[in-house]
Amino acid sequence: MARRDIHRTRYGRYAGGPDPLAPPVDLAEALEAIGNDVMAGYSPERAMREFLRRGGRGQEGLDDLAARVARRRQELLKQHRLDGTMQEVKELLDKAVLAERKQLARDLDDDARFDEMRIENLPPSTAAAVKELSDYSWRSSDARAAYEQIKDLLGREMLDQRFQGMKRALQNATEEDRSRVAEMLRDLNDLLAAHARGEDTGEQFGDFMDKHGDFFPERPESMEELLDSLAQRAAAAQRMRNSMTQEQRDELDSLAAQAFGSPELMQSLAELDANLRSLRPGEDWGGQERFDGEQGLGLGDGTGVLQDLADLDDLAEQLAQQHNGARLDDVDLDKLARQLGAQAGVDARTLAEVERSLRDSGYLRRSSDGRLRLSPKAMRQLGKALLRDVATRMSGRQGQRDLRRAGAAGERSGASREWAFGDTEPWDVTRTLTNAVRRTVAEGADPAHGVRLDVRDVEVLETEARTQAAVALLVDTSFSMAMDGRWVPMKRTALALHQLISTRFRGDALQLIGFGPHAQVMDIEQLTALDAMWDKGTNLHHALLLANRHFRKHPSAQPVLLIVTDGEPTSHLEADGQVFFCYPPDPATIARSVRELDNSARLGAQTTFFRLGDDPGLARFVESMARRVDGRVVAPELDDLGAAVVGSYLGSRGSSSAFGSDYGSWFGGRGFWVAD
């Protein structure tokens, strides 16, 4: 029977960079947060930076990652101390001395008594005692083995400081292994010296790696990569030495001569350090740290911790994003994941993708003055989000409803007609396809071979006529609006209404008018980016003048006047165009505002005041003004301002009769609806 080959496949976590199957980054949350900050007075650049610092829902921001970096750094310093190698040497020395004393107690010759005296009078310093015993003839085999372990340990630690993993790799090493290390150091110093003279070649580097590559598991692919890795570790070893006390440094220097029992090793390492300092002077060779922990570190492990601290310092600088032109692409994601875990790398990569997408997708653009601004595309996206929020609040069913395309052409009448250029009504699909089949047959073609639509086939559904509206949204831009936290809700309201009219009621004419000491017509980008100014005055008179001019430009449209304010009028325009200001409100200011509101009423404007705040004087004023023109007053909470304004507008679109008692009653009326 023929043998069947069995193929087995093992799956594991993908580790080749960003997840190729991950969905594209969602910019909606970032754009909404940035838009809110811009409306609060931040520049788009700063608003984007603030979002990246805060992060999103379930997403750590730069500040969170930077705090984790700082905590990790503090943990390393509080956890460790730098005398681990000296402590390990002391333990081996104590073991050797104890074993030798036991052996000497059993020996009865005179030389044993002399050796006993020598052992008893060893210097208290561990390093001095090790040096004192360098020529001692051990009687105990256990004592001799323990002392040889000291020399072996010191050699492996000294190498591990410069070449990570050497301590473990050279455990139980033979003389042949040590000879190979010595040869590698000689060849490495020759290569570095040639590089310093500019005489090295790629072939020389390749030969070195072919011969000694097993000493470099990171497998550097060029001379520069090799230099970088060696210099970074050597600089960390120097910083570790700098962080020791003078006593610890003296002990270490004395012990170093015993490493492998070979002074040549220390000479080669000293030459290596000198070469690396010369070739990489920019490394931090002079820093030091203060360790306060209980866990002793060997020389190699201590050097690794100093490298970790250097990595954490680099990450702190990268995450701070303080220098000009800083981008999240500057953050070393591999280093971040290594220090804080894989999820930190994922979070940082997501933030970098958000930043890159915001810049590259057209949401932010440079204006003629070089400043970064929200693009019209960004304004539309932000408007959609705000309009969805308004619909949710009006529906009273949080998270279950959304806006649909509606109101573009009124209610359907049941009839259809041939499409004409400019029509926005929905197609009558059945009639359109029937026309295409009939035309195909009339032209002698076989419908079984396919039917191609022609513009002549298209029929659209007829709708009832819909009244066009001329809408004037007057928003108070005096400083009290910003001071009392009404600045951003006002702008969000304007943007939501602008989005609704520009997408659902394109035939309506919206004009945004801001009024402080004087009034001005603004486009939505200008209003959104408007900074709060310390300007005295609430010039409703001027705002009404501009609104009435807008109504007169659209004589066939239904005027809709929406006024958002938190204060009584305190300024008006004089005949010469100068602004008059007085607080408390001057009777002349009130009279001119009333007269211009009467002009709005004569033009047929349906008027709604949105009163913000609990000022009794303001309440009396707007109530009397609304009664005068058969208008209405709404006093919404700030979170409901957008729903109140949009509801009032939709009420005016649904009926030309008097307003109802609650703006929510118009929800679901003609021209605006939501669906599950």
**What are the sequence ranges of the domains in the chain?**
28-80+312-374, 83-290, 412-463, 469-665
Of 103-117, 272-286, 382-396, the one with minimum mean pLDDT is 382-396
Tell me 173's DSSP state. -
At residue 43, what are phi and psi to the nearest 5 degrees? -75, 155
Calpha distance 101→122 (Å, rounded): 13
Quickly state the pLDDT bin for 409 (edges 50, 70, 90): very low
Quickly state the pLDDT bin for 570 (edges 50, 70, 90): very high
Calpha distance 545→574 (Å, rounded): 12
Percent of the chain at pLDDT above 70? 87
Calpha distance 85→297 (Å, rounded): 7
What is the reported pLDDT for 12?
61
Residue written as tokens 């069995």? 6
With 50 as the cut, is the pLDDT of residue 320 above it?
yes
What is the reported pLDDT for 10?
63
Please count the other Cβ atoms lying within 10 Å of the Cβ belonging to residue 174: 9
How far, CA to CA in Å, does 555 sit from each of 469, 551, 561, 630? 10, 7, 15, 21
Chain segment 445-486, per-residue pLDDT in tens: 877 778 888 888 888 887 655 568 999 999 999 888 888 888
Q: Which amino acid is at 344?
A: A
Chain segment 581-605, per-residue pLDDT in tens: 998 899 999 999 999 999 999 999 9
What is the arithmetic mean of pLDDT over 434-452? 82
What is the arithmetic mean of pLDDT over 528-548? 87
What is the reported pLDDT for 401?
32
With 60 as the cut, is the pLDDT of residue 5 above it?
no
What is the reported pLDDT for 67?
92
Quickly state the pLDDT bin for 217 (edges 50, 70, 90): confident
Quickly state the pLDDT bin for 564 (edges 50, 70, 90): very high
User: Average model confidence (pLDDT) for the chain?
Assistant: 81
Quickly state the pLDDT bin for 369 (edges 50, 70, 90): low
> In this structure, are residues 288 and 236 in contact, taking their beta carbons and an 8 Å threshold?
no
More confident residue, 277 or 25: 277
What is the arithmetic mean of pLDDT over 382-401? 63
What is the arithmetic mean of pLDDT over 211-224? 88
What is the arithmetic mean of pLDDT over 286-295? 84
Quickly state the pLDDT bin for 6 (edges 50, 70, 90): low
Calpha distance 322→311 (Å, rounded): 18
319, with CB counted inside 10 A (0-12, 13-18, 19+), is buried
With 70 as the cut, is the pLDDT of residue 230 above it?
yes
More confident residue, 424 or 268: 268
What is the reported pLDDT for 18?
55
Of 117-126, 216-225, 498-507, 648-657, the one with minimum mean pLDDT is 648-657
Cα atoms in the Cβ-side hemisphere of radius 13 Å centred on 235: 23
Chain segment 184-214, per-residue pLDDT in tens: 999 999 999 999 999 888 889 999 999 988 8
- DSSP labels for 260-274? GG-HHHHHHHHHHHH
Query: What CATH class is the domain 469-665?
Result: alpha beta
What is the reported pLDDT for 553?
94
Quickly state the pLDDT bin for 23 (edges 50, 70, 90): low
Quickly state the pLDDT bin for 371 (edges 50, 70, 90): low
Calpha distance 372→38 (Å, rounded): 11
With 50 as the cut, is the pLDDT of residue 574 above it?
yes
What is the reported pLDDT for 667?
38
With 60 as the cut, is the pLDDT of residue 546 above it?
yes
- 255: part of which helix (H) or strand (E)? helix 246-256
What is the reported pLDDT for 260?
67
With 90 as the cut, is the pLDDT of residue 414 above it?
no
What is the reported pLDDT for 347?
86
What is the reported pLDDT for 399?
36
Calpha distance 619→626 (Å, rounded): 11
What is the reported pLDDT for 31?
79
90: left (phi over 0), alpha (psi -120 to 50) or beta: alpha
Nearest CA to 48 out of 25, 65, 27, 24 is that of 27
Chain segment 270-280, per-residue pLDDT in tens: 899 899 999 99
> In this structure, are residues 339 and 316 in contact, taking their beta carbons and an 8 Å threshold?
no
Quickly state the pLDDT bin for 405 (edges 50, 70, 90): very low
What is the arithmetic mean of pLDDT over 73-101? 89
More confident residue, 192 or 360: 192
Of 238-252, 353-367, 428-442, 562-576, the one with minimum mean pLDDT is 353-367
- 80: part of which helix (H) or strand (E)? strand 80-81
**And the tokens for 648?**
């009032």
With 80 as the cut, is the pLDDT of residue 25 above it?
no
What is the reported pLDDT for 404?
34
- DSSP labels for 95-119? HHHHHHHHHHHH--SHHHHHHHHHH
Percent of the chain at pLDDT above 90? 24
What is the arithmetic mean of pLDDT over 131-138? 88
Q: What angle do CA 329, 334, 337 make, to 5 degrees?
A: 110
With 80 as the cut, is the pLDDT of residue 576 above it?
yes
What is the reported pLDDT for 413?
60
